[in-house]
Structure 1
Amino acid sequence: MQCNEQPYQAPRLFIAGAWRTGSAETRSQVINPATAEVLDELRHASVRDLDDALIAVEQGFGVWRGVPAAERQRVLTKSVENMRARRDEIARVLTLEQGKPLVQARAEIDVAAGMVQWYAEQARRVYGRIIPSPSADTDYEVRKEPVGPCLLLSPWNVPLILAARKIGGALAAGCSCIVKPPEETPASVAKMVECFVDAGTPPGVINVVFGVPQTVSEHLIASDSIRKVSFTGSVAVGQQIARLAAPGLKRVTLELGGHSPVIVFDDVDVDTVVRQLVTAKFRNAGQLCHAPTRFFVQRGIYPRFVERFAAAAAQLRVGDGLDERTDMGPLANVRRLRAMTELADATALDATLVTGGTRVAGQGYFFAPTVFADVGPDARAMKDEPFGPVALVRSFDTPAQAVALANSTRYGLGSYVFTDSAKLQRQMINSLDVGSVAINSTTVTVAEAPFGGVRDSGYGYESGEEGLESYLHTKFIHRTYLA
């Protein structure tokens, strides 16, 4: 398979400043989801490789924690320049591995670079403080210091953004890290890591390993070298990560699943809202933790909304992401295709299928943009995150009904509200049990602000000052001057 006239090649491990071949007996295949063809085989890290990475990350921390903030800022800024210069190359690799259209792959690199840029700027703003003491010969001081070597675990759906904001936060704070990218999309993340390496990060500051996820996590988290774990992924795996981290009392950030509600009141312009929501819903084939999924539309505009939303979804061009004409690429793997096929049962959903609901012909993992109307509130899909190109639409009458429907799952990540009423906006903001609320917008995460959830959507934050704080330890100094 060709990528920009260069053959695709699965990456090697990166440990102690050098790329090396994984020495484990296990391997995994990297699949092009648009063709179901094997791109290459990925060699995994052995226990010896993982132990070497632990030694390296400790040594890297010993160096990086002492690097002045201005120099850390310079390295991160140069990393961003490298990412932007290599945008097209990385985008093509990402599309080959993950399936998303090239325009979305390029946008992902832009967002990832922007997140690292923000952390680079914040590296020089990690402030402590002086506290007035009760004595003339005593000072109270609070300092912020890096928490230590970190394990950064990122998923396959938006691998560059989710890895970049972890790496950016860790390095800005002065931490070293071991990055375990997803085995489905290894090369795009490895190419992004090269941008940091080529910017001048010392050996051991960034390390990259691949392998059987459970085996890698169990071995690395058990080590006293790792002081913080950041994980983005499923609820079940997040719970396991928390259990593994508990004996060592390691700091953990968990950004888990979402089942984002959309509440549309009848004072909006339906066509404008539909255009925004169709784009947001079917971006990355719906494989986003904060993707709008459960659509609650006030009864006065409900029939028109369903008709226009379904018509717009049906017009999306589904195809290979390398084709610039493609609006929606394939699902990222065969597991998601099976899940969508099982989900698309109108009887089980107590719903009406308006459009889609079937696999798109071809060798790849394509599934049609799908819209269900009048979905029963107790349908399994209303409780469990579909994580695919499926929109579930239901009407409501009163704001209280909308809030009850929106809060009826154990997820609480992102949410979307569309209304021109300031009173309704305030009511929704105060009542929705989520980490983020977008009003008349489909953006719930930006570099400058914290992103995290409640309940089964996890705890802790990525991005923003809160995200940087999670990589910092607070030290109090009580200094008395002897006469």
Structure 2
Amino acid sequence: MELQDIYTNQGQLIGGHWVQGCGETAQNQDPATEESLGNLKQASVAQVQEAVAAADNARNAMRALTAWDRSTLLRHAATLIHQRAPAIGRLVALETGKPISQAIGEAKVASESVDWFADEARRIFGLSYESRVKGDRYLIHYEPLGVVAAFVPWNFPLVLLARKLAPALAAGNTVVIRPSSEAAGATMALVQCFVDAGFPPGAINLVIGNPADITPTIMDDARVAKVSFTGSVSIGRQIVAASARTLKKVSMELGGHAPVIVHSDADVEAFVAMAASGKFRNAGQVCASPTRFYVHESIIEDIGQRLTDATRALRIGTPLDSGTDIGPLTTNRRRDAIECLIDEARDGGAKVLCGGARPSQIKKGFYYEPTWLLRPSETLRIMNEEPFGPVGTLTPFSSLDEVVEQANRLPFALAAYVFTQSLRLAHLTNERVEAGVIGVNTFVASNAETPFGGNKDSGFGREGGPTAIRDYLNTKFINLSLPAERA
């Protein structure tokens, strides 16, 4: 099915029914060809209000389900996502420019997240313990929050939604989803898996349109108990401020500018192989993307040359080609921003080891060559602002104290990476680097079963892992005082 058919046949999911938006019409653009993928009618403010009302009305139906019921439904949804991964992945590739192998892989990872929370639904354990009065009991019980809103960006439209939707449903909540319009069709296809799994009508609602219409409407509605947001620091601040008006719970997964510390004893060959692919996955449009590479001065020249060779071997191509390593950036705005950062760095004295331009062999699409910059000044914007694109920087260091100071210099603290063959040096580095996630000798930052999130300006709250479901539950204390038995 073509994307225009999906946009027309589905659109907005409100109260269990797919309906067309009542707002303006927006055109989605293929980032690889710059041609139209189709037109999508945007949700109106009234439809957003209807979605919240539908979610509120479905609360009783969700509360009527047992934990085992919710687990069964989630398991069914996970199975459907996995079965449909090639088709859903194709939509991601078309809408975002992500290489098809990575897009299908994302769909499968989303399935794993849903499957994980299918288990967690059955593990919402309360507590029972003795009170101060003999024979009485203290009980701690966990209950769903009610209506939860999930705001999801375009760079990982499937995984990031699964990390929010699955724990919310596992806990017994209903959900209103506001995805990015750039990945509208892929989001619809993922949500359809939950509909087909049999969740009650209204338990899941999807509104796609102008964030300026959708976000304030949701934030001002007191029926929405929690908002889970993934996106930029600036928008995150606005949502946190808006949440105060109705005292909503919020989870924030915001930007990053991940440092990579490569010690002198690192396995250079293994590091280069991982770095070339890890840095340029999804064209660097990853919040946990390794970006600021701090390499020990004794090996930086060798690593710089090896990274250049490995990066030049990566294939830039169309997203639907299985041999493509790097596709286009998702939007022209993103490419323009990358160009400005790299041009400024070049003018500021950084050496461009490779890349630094649009690929001359590709005439259309939002492509940009994978780029390495050597010895950029700390004052450059690229060393202080999250680039969110296919560019990495290489900076030498001489001591642990020096590199830790450099790594912690920014207000971001989402992900960091450390490469060393010394367990002692790994521990010394890990305990001093400020980050919510640290990969040692790996660029894998998250899995379904592990917590993901940041500190400082990178946000708060964790998605995935054994504690994530608690963010979707209220705690209730019951002091159970029993009447004395009569003789």
TM-score range, shorter chain: over 0.9
CA-atom RMSD in angstroms: 1.3
Q: Which residue of 1 aligns with 2:201?
A: 203
4+ long deviations beyond 6 Å: none
Residues of 1 paired with 2:349 and 2:253: CA distance? 31
Between 105-114 and 135-144, the greater mean CA deviation after superposition = 135-144
Q: Is the 8 A contact 2:346 2:352 kept in 1?
A: no
Task: Identify the residue that residue 448 of structure 1 maps to in structure 2.
Answer: 449
1:239 positional shift: 0.5
Partner amino acid for 1:440?
N
Partners of 1:116 and 1:205 in 2: how far apart? 16
Unaligned stretches of 5+ residues in structure 1:
none
1:75, CA displacement in angstroms?
Answer: 0.2
**Partner SS for 2:167:** helix
1:465 deviates by 2.4
2:349 equivalent to 1:350? yes
| Partner in structure 1 of residue 324 of structure 2 | 326
Q: Name structure 2 gaps, 5 residues minimum.
A: none
Deviations 1:330-373 (A, max 9, x none): 00001111001111123444311111010123210000000100
Identity of aligned residues (%): 39
What secondary structure does 2:280 align onto? Answer: helix
| Deviations 1:65-124 (CA, angstroms, capped at 9, x unpaired) | 221000000000000111011111111111000101110001101111001100001100
> What is aligned with 1:409?
410
Could you list the per-position Cα deviations for residues 207-237 of structure 1 after superposition, in whole angstroms to 9, with x for gaps in the alignment? 0001111220100111111000000000011
- Residue 124 of structure 1 corresponds to 122
Q: Name the residue aligned to 1:359.
A: 358
TM-score, normalised to structure 2, is 0.96
1:94 aligns with 2:92: yes
**1:20 is the counterpart of 2:19:** yes
Deviates more, 1:235-244 or 1:40-49: 40-49
Q: Are the equivalent residues in 2 in contact too, given 1:264–1:419 (CA < 8 A)?
A: yes
In structure 1, the residue matched to 2:101 is 103
- Are 2:286 and 1:317 equivalent residues in the alignment? no
- SS at 1:420's partner residue? coil
Who is 2:62 aligned against? 64
SS at match of 1:464: coil
1:64-463 counterparts in 2 under 5 A? 64-345=62-343, 346-360=345-359, 361-463=362-464
- The change in CA–CA distance for 1:458 and 1:349 in structure 2 (over 3 A counts) is farther
**Counterpart residue type for residue 374 of structure 1:** R
| 2-structure distance, mates of 1:349, 1:19 | 52
Residues 66/125 of structure 1: CA separation in 2 closer, same or farther (3 Å cut): same
Other structure's SS at 1:42 match: strand
How far apart in 2 are the matches of 1:391 and 1:144?
45
Separation in 2 of the partners of 1:296 and 1:393?
6
- How far, CA to CA, are the matches of 1:291 and 1:65 in structure 2? 39
Instruction: Find the aligned partners of 1:203 and 1:168 in 2 and give their Cα distance.
Output: 16
* TM value normalised by structure 1: 0.97
DSSP-derived class of the 2:55 partner: helix
Cα distance, 1:7–1:44 mapped onto 2, change above 3 Å: closer
- CA deviations on 1:150-179 (whole Å, 9 max, x unpaired) are 000000001100001100010001010001
Secondary structure, aligned partner of 2:466 = helix
Q: Give the SS at the match of 1:442.
A: coil
Q: Residue 389 of structure 1 aligns to which amino acid in structure 2?
A: P
